[in-house]
Amino acid sequence: MVEEGGKAMAAYLTPRDPGKTDDMAEDIADALKTVSHVAEYWMADPQRTVEAQSRLMAGYLSVWANTMKRLAGEEVAPVTSPDAKDARFKDQGWSESPIFDALKQVYLVTTQWAEEMVGEAEGLDPHTKHKAEFLVRQISNAISPSNFVMTNPELIRETLSSSGENLVKGMRNLTEDLIEGKGTLKIRQTDMSAFEVGRNLATTPGKVIFENELMQLIQYEATTESVKKTPLLIVPPWINKFYILDLTAEKSFIKWLVDQGVSVFVISWVNPDARLATKGFDDYMRDGIMTALDQVAIASGERQAHAMGYCVGGTLLATTLAYMAATGDDRIASATFLTTQIDFTHAGDLKVFVDEDQLASIERKMKDMGYLEGSKMASAFNLLRSNDLIWPYVVNNYMKGKAPFPFDLLFWNADSTRMPAANHSYYLRNCYLTNNIARGLAELAGVRIDVHKISVPVYSLATKEDHIAPPNSVYIGANLLSGPVRYVLAGSGHIAGVVNPPAKKKYQYWADGPTGPSFDLWLQGARENVGSWWPDWISWFSYQHPEEVPARAIGGGRLTPIEDAPGRYVRARS
C-alpha cells in the first residue's frame, strides 16, 4: 500500500509547476473568511459562547451515558439517528456495535450542532449565511466516520478479510484517477470503458445537416409514415452534452419523440477552446438558436417551429423568445422549458459560488485560458450532492478497492464541457448575481430583454428534488410569462426526473394546480399522476398544431447531410 501510495503522490506532484500555487488556495481563503463571520457572532458574547459549548457537551454526555448503558446490556433509544435515506450508516455494524453506534451518534450530534450554530447566527447577510450553511454541510459530509477505514465497521471487515488487498487496489485506483486528472483527482463514478458515444449512447439514427463554429444541427430520421407538420427544435445545455436526451435506446427521449411522429432537430454545441473566448450569450442566440431556426425552415419547409430548452439551454431559449418578441419575430410557435430557470432569486445552492469576489476570481482564470474548464463546473455540481456523487465513490474506489458499476447517466455526467469566457461571465452575472434577465435589465445584441413579452404557449417542467433548478424557482420564472403556461412537476431530480421513459413506470408528476404566484398553493391543489410526464407533454404538444404531413426526408432535398448523428462536436472530450 505504501508503495502504491508513493505512485499516487508522484501522480499528484509531477504535473505541477514548481512555485505555482494551487487553485484551491483562493477557495480555502474564501471558505475561512465565510466561516469566520459565524464564529465572530458566537465569540463576541462570552455568555453566548458558553451556552453553545454547553449545548454540544450535553449532547456528547448523553451519547456517553447511553453507550455505558448499552455496554451494560440495557436497551436504550439513541440520542440521535441518521435520516432513513442516509446510505452511509446502513451497514449492521453501525447499530449492532455500541462503540460504532456511539461514534455515529457523536458525529451526528456534532454536525447538527454546527448547522444550528450557522442557522442561529444573527446579523449575517443572507448570502454569507447561505455560503456558511453550504460549507458546514460539505465539511460535515467530509468528516463522516463512514469515510475512513478505522472508523467504518464495513471497511474494517473488508480490510481484515482481504488482508489489506482492498487498500492496495484502492491506492492503485487513486493513482489512475490522479493521472487521468493530470494531477487533479478525477473521481470515477462509473466504468468509463463501458460506453462510447455513437456506439451504445446517442444512437438514434439521424444526420448532421448544418454546422458552424458554435454548433452542429442534427435532424433525426422519421420512424412513422406521417409526422407533425410543425417541427421541434431542441436546445440542450452547453454545460453538458445533448445526449442526456439520447442515452441508451430504452432511455432516449429523442427516440421516443421520433417514434411519436415528431420531426426532431437538435443543436449539438461545440466543446469550445480558447479560440471562442469572446463568444457571448448573444452569439449563442444568433449563431445557435436563430441560425438553427433558419436551417430547420429550409429542411422542413415550415416557417415556424416549436422549441424545447433544457436547463441553461432553456434560459437561452427564454431570452431568445424575449428578443424575438421585441423584434417582431414569430418563428417559434410554442416553447417547452425543461428544469429551466428564468428568475434566479431562489436558485438553490449554486448561488453560493457566485458573488463579486468569486466572480472576479473566475473571470481572471477564464481571461488567462479563454474558457472555464469543464472539471470546474462538474466539481461544483458534484458538491451540491456530495453524499451521493463524491464520498460513496471515495469509499468504494479507494478504500474498498472496487471499480464503479457501469452507468450511462454517470458516464454522461463525467463527459464535461468547457465554457467560453464571455458566455459564462454573462450567464453568471445576469442570472445568478444580479437576476437581470428576470428584472428586465439585461440586453442581448443591443436589445433590452423583457421576458414578460413572451406570449407563445409554454410547457414548463420542474422536478421535485432538483438541486440545480429548484421547482419553486422554475415556477416563479414561468409566472413571468404572459402567454398560456402549463406548469408540471415531475418526481425525482434534475436528470432522472426528465429522463423518465413511460415504459419504466417510475416516479410520478403533478399538474393542474391553481394558477397564481404561490408555488406551495399550486402544489397543494395539483393532481398527482402515476408514471412519466412524457405522455402528458405529447398531448399538450399535439394540441398546439395537430396537423400532420408525410414523413420528411432528412435535409428536405435542400440541405446535404454532413455526417451521421451524433456528429463530431459531441465526441470532443475536455
CB 374 within 8 A of CB 141: no
Query: Cell 435520516 identifies what position?
Result: 83
Nearest-CA neighbor of 545 among 314, 303, 270, 334?
A: 334
Distance CA 107, CA 59 (A): 11
Q: Hey, what amino acid is at 571? A: R
CB 494 within 8 A of CB 466: yes
The SS3 assignment for 79 reads: coil
Nearest-CA neighbor of 175 among 498, 464, 356, 398?
A: 398
Longest dimension (CA), the chain: 84
Distance CA 522, CA 517 (A): 9
Distance CA 279, CA 316 (A): 14
Distance CA 268, CA 333 (A): 22
CA distances from 468 to 89, 474, 531 (A): 26, 10, 22
DSSP bridge pairs for 338: 310, 461
Query: Cell 425525482 identifies what position?
Result: 492
Burial 378-392 (b: 16+ CB within 10 A, else e): bbebbbbbbbebbbb
Question: Can you read off the three cell numbers belonging to residue 249?
Answer: 435506446
Phi first, then psi: give them for residue 343, nearest 5 degrees: -100, 130
Distance of CA 412 to the CA centre of its chain: 11
Query: Cell 399522476 identifies what position?
Result: 529
Residue 504, Cβ neighbours under 10 Å: how many? Answer: 12
Helix (H) or strand (E) holding 113: helix 98-120
Nearest-CA neighbor of 306 among 248, 366, 262, 245?
A: 262
Catalytic residues: 311
Side-chain half-sphere exposure of 300, counting CA atoms within 13 A: 29
Residue 161, Cβ neighbours under 10 Å: how many? Answer: 10
- Residue 404: DSSP 8-state: P
The DSSP-derived string for 132-193 is: HHHHHHHHHHHT-GGGSGGG-HHHHHHHHHTTTHHHHHHHHHHHHHHHHTTTS-----S-GG
How large is the angle between the packed helices 46-71 and 98-120, nearest 10 degrees?
A: 160
Distance CA 229, CA 190 (A): 41
Q: Hey, what amino acid is at 359? A: L
